[in-house]
């Protein structure tokens, strides 16, 4: 079976797990008499939820090594900037500008529409109770704020190892996960500058660490259909139909954000920085966008994107190869936007009021997570889990989102690949002298 077909059937299994869990949970919540509620709660707390958490724990286990190695490798690939001079710099600036725009849209929409607040107070209460310890801590943490200067300074870790160890510790006053990301960024940049022959082992180490982490995530995902069924059961039994409305609004917000980036931000970039007609561009690029949509993988789309860039969009091959190859794993606007919406949505669901500074921290983490996300189906999942853990929102809730993730993955991957092509067009405009 091809990789993409395997991931499709995996997604179908997770979706079936979600549906089964939701239906049984709703039925149990609605059908059982009031007197049976305590014993249902006992089963949920002592058996069903712990069983459902197994696959999440396996993911948590590799979040730090995965983020560390993915960002080092992603930055190392981008670091070839030096050798490409102007092309590299334009690509780098465009990548950060478009990622920042997408995360900005995510932040704006979630604060405006507040999808997580559509849950009734009663449902939120029972959700917070379900995840009692963690959500209480996160609410407390949300109310403590540090000055912007201290927060920013903390992102440069004095002791990266301590930050890695305490990344998910609510008492940690340091930069946490973002500090680990910044450290990885430095290591990645330094690796491109240090002599290649002297750093081969270290590069190999990070590449190996990344591969091993991905294999372990693969193990976790095999258990995911079962885990998702258990966790969805627990939530549905306690929340009832309220949950569906909230989830529907969340999906709507993600899609609206992706549409704004695709149909407003990209056309502006194309018109003003690449001097191209956005409609014609979309038409010429559609083959790559459709492939991205159907495979949910930027990496799998790379060959098609390269052909489209060179043949249909007349982008010089040298630029297309550099921007698209690096972009497939290091520029993921759709993913950054999705991560921003998801994290803030879940924070709202759990009643965690993030301060402005904390929201900026989340935004920065999402921009970095966009660099660190592997261009494969569901590649962003471990990073979302990492960001949730680091702001102390119970990551179990991701189980429900995971069930509908495949569809959102298709949509965000289409945006990821469009973004790579837009950047290639912008870079090509600024470097007419760089030929094939």
Cβ contact 234:48 at 8 Å: yes
Q: Tell me the Ramachandran region of residue 378: left when phi exceeds 0, alpha when psi lies from -120 to 50, beta otherwise.
A: left
Of the candidate spans 130-138, 147-155, 293-301, 360-368, the one that interacts with ligand ASP by CB under 6 A turns out to be 293-301
Q: Which of 116, 257, 378, 403 binds ligand ASP (CB under 6 A)?
A: 378
Total binding residues toward ligand ASP, as defined by CB under 6 A? 16
**Which C-beta is closer to ligand ASP: that of 5 or that of 275?**
5
Q: How far is the CB of 412 from ligand ASP (least distance, A)?
A: 5
Q: How far is the CB of 395 from ligand ASP (least distance, A)?
A: 16
Of 336, 389, 392, whose CA–CA distance to 365 is shortest? 336
> Alpha-carbon distance 372 to 375, whole Å?
9
**Which tokens hold the place of 173?**
């006053």
Touching ligand ASP, residues 382-411 (CB under 6 A):
409
CB contact burial 356-386 (16+ within 10 A = b; e otherwise): eebbbbbbbbbbbbbbbbbbbbbbbbbbbbb
Binding mask 249-288 for ligand ASP (x = CB under 6 A): ----------------------------------------
User: To 10 degrees, what angle do helices 196-239 and 121-130 make?
Assistant: 120
Of the candidate spans 147-155, 171-179, 282-290, 377-385, the one that interacts with ligand ASP by CB under 6 A turns out to be 377-385
Cβ contact 110:253 at 8 Å: yes
Of 62, 64, 58, 75, whose CA–CA distance to 372 is shortest? 75
Q: Does 333 bind ligand ASP (CB under 6 A)?
A: no
Q: Does 327 bind ligand ASP (CB under 6 A)?
A: no
Touching ligand ASP, residues 408-427 (CB under 6 A):
409, 412-413, 416
Q: How far is the CB of 418 from ligand ASP (least distance, A)?
A: 11
Of the candidate spans 37-45, 244-252, 371-379, 424-432, the one that interacts with ligand ASP by CB under 6 A turns out to be 371-379
Q: Does 377 bind ligand ASP (CB under 6 A)?
A: yes
Q: Does 184 bind ligand ASP (CB under 6 A)?
A: no
**Which tokens hold the place of 22?**
């939701």
- Cα 393 → chain centroid: 15
Q: Which of 333, 380, 390, 418 binds ligand ASP (CB under 6 A)?
A: 380
332 phi/psi in degrees, rounded to 5: -135, 85
**Which tokens hold the place of 264?**
């407003």
Q: Does 375 bind ligand ASP (CB under 6 A)?
A: yes
Q: How far is the CB of 334 from ligand ASP (least distance, A)?
A: 7
Q: Does 379 bind ligand ASP (CB under 6 A)?
A: yes
Q: Which of 261, 298, 358, 392 binds ligand ASP (CB under 6 A)?
A: 298
Q: How far is the CB of 93 from ligand ASP (least distance, A)?
A: 21
**Which C-beta is closer to ligand ASP: that of 109 or that of 402?**
402
Q: Does 332 bind ligand ASP (CB under 6 A)?
A: yes
Touching ligand ASP, residues 34-53 (CB under 6 A):
none
**Which C-beta is closer to ligand ASP: that of 130 or that of 416?**
416
Q: Which of 138, 296, 342, 390 binds ligand ASP (CB under 6 A)?
A: 296
Query: Using CB under 6 A as the criterion, which residues of the chain lie in contact with ligand ASP when the complex forms?
Result: 296-298, 332, 335, 373, 375-380, 409, 412-413, 416
């Amino acid at each position: 079976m091809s990789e993409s077909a395997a991931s499709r059937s995996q997604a179908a299994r997770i979706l079936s797990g979600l549906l089964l869990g939701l239906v049984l949970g709703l039925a149990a919540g609605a059908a059982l008499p009031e007197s049976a509620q305590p014993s249902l709660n006992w089963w949920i707390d002592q058996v069903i939820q712990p069983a459902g958490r197994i696959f999440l724990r396996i993911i948590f286990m590799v979040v730090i090594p995965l983020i560390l190695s993915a960002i080092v490798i992603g930055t190392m690939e981008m670091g070839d900037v030096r050798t490409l001079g102007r092309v590299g710099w334009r690509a780098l600036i465009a990548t950060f500008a478009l990622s920042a725009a997408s995360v900005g849209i995510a932040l704006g929409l979630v604060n405006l529409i507040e999808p997580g607040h559509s849950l009734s107070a009663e449902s939120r209460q029972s959700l917070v109770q379900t995840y009692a310890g963690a959500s209480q801590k996160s609410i407390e943490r949300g109310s403590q704020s540090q000055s912007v200067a201290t927060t920013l300074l903390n992102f440069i870790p004095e002791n990266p190892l301590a930050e890695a160890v305490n990344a998910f510790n609510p008492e940690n006053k340091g930069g946490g996960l973002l500090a680990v990301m910044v450290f990885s960024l430095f290591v990645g940049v330094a690796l491109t500058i240090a002599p290649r022959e002297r750093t081969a082992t270290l590069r190999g180490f990070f590449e190996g660490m990344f591969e091993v982490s991905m294999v372990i995530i693969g193990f976790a995902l095999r258990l995911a259909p079962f885990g998702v069924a258990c966790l969805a059961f627990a939530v549905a039994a306690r929340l009832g139909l309220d949950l569906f409305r909230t989830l529907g609004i969340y999906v709507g917000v993600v899609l609206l954000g992706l549409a704004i980036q695709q149909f407003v931000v990209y056309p502006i970039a194309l018109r003003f920085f690449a001097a191209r007609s956005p409609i014609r561009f979309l038409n010429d690029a559609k083959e790559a966008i459709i492939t991205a949509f159907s495979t949910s993988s930027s990496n799998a789309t790379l060959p098609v994107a390269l052909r489209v860039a060179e043949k249909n969009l007349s982008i010089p091959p040298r630029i297309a190869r550099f921007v698209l190859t690096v972009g497939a794993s290091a520029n993921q606007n759709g993913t950054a936007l999705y991560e921003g919406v998801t994290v803030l949505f879940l924070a709202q669901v759990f009643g965690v009021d993030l301060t402005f500074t904390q929201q900026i921290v989340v935004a920065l983490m999402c921009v970095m997570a966009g660099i660190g996300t592997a261009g494969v189906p569901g590649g962003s999942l471990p990073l979302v889990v990492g960001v949730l853990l680091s702001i102390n929102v119970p990551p179990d809730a991701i189980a429900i989102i995971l069930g509908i993730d495949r569809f959102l993955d298709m949509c965000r991957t289409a945006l990821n690949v469009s973004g790579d092509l837009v950047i290639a067009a912008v870079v090509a405009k600024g470097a007419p002298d760089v030929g094939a």
